[in-house]
Amino acid sequence: MKFNRFGKYPIAFMLVLLCAIPYGIASLHGLHHPAFVRAQEPPEVQSPQSEATPVTPESIFMSQLPSWARLVDIRKVNPNIRLDIRYATANNFLKRKLYSQAKCALRSSVAQKLALVQTDLEKIGLGLKVYDCYRPFSVTEQMWAVLPDPNYVANPARGSRHNRGAAVDLTLVDRTGKELEMPTPYDDFTEKAHGDYQGGSAQSRKNRQVLKDAMKKHGFIGITTEWWHFDSEDWQKFAILDISLGTIP
């Protein structure tokens, strides 16, 4: 029996050649294994609210968001809510004006809930006074540069719930607008401002609890370090913004 020019073992040679073809083709495409790769699921798209930087330009903000998610002026929702927007003055821990105007802006759905809190409090002769609402992201950056303590200032790497228009700083007032006694003044960065602080007067702790209960009833959640700060329970669905207060109607 004679063998052809491919050598003494033609059958073995052909088997090696057939096995090598897929690897040769794959190498042309920069692969290390043959094709027949299982199809992958589409990549998960990260939702805007989890992003840590402003993503919504002012030019499209008002026109493209649904009405419930737009920033609105709280005084147009309930004018009985009193304002003392500290960051529109020098009366704050930075000792300088940070806002172009004294306005409390919130997402429309959040503002509606806060209006209900005001209505309930009026039934017992009380009301709300607001210190801060929506806070532009650029202001949070300025605050962090001065006080980089996540217990009191949001880290810009993650953003603030104020930046989402879903948080509010506030206190209680009586019918005349006089503030009720609380354990500390606003922006007190000590343990006395904590929600579970048991010092101070019994009346201040009672007033703090009245505020907490009124806010909780309508979907606001307090935080441990600041008796005045409350987040809307659905804050996660809102994106971080850096919209100037002057553009909000």
The catalytic residue positions are 226
Model confidence at 60, pLDDT cuts 50, 70, 90, reads low
Residue 124 φ/ψ, nearest 5 degrees: -115, 20
d(CA 155, CA 143): 9
Task: Find the mean pLDDT for residues 135-159.
Answer: 90
Tell me the chain's radius of gyration from C-alpha atoms: 30
125: enclosing H helix or E strand: none
Least confident range of 26-30, 70-74, 157-161, 240-244:
26-30
Q: Residue type at 65?
A: L
Report in angstroms the alpha-carbon separations of 172 from 71, 101, 225: 23, 23, 18
What pLDDT sits at residue 166? Answer: 98
pLDDT tens digits for range 166-177: 999 999 999 999
- β-pairing verdict for 105-107 and 167-174: unpaired
Percentage of the chain exceeding pLDDT 90: 67
β partners of residue 126: 174
Cβ–Cβ < 8 Å for 237, 211: no
pLDDT tops 70 at residue 8? no
d(CA 118, CA 81): 7
Cα angle: 113, vertex 115, 119; to 5 degrees: 115
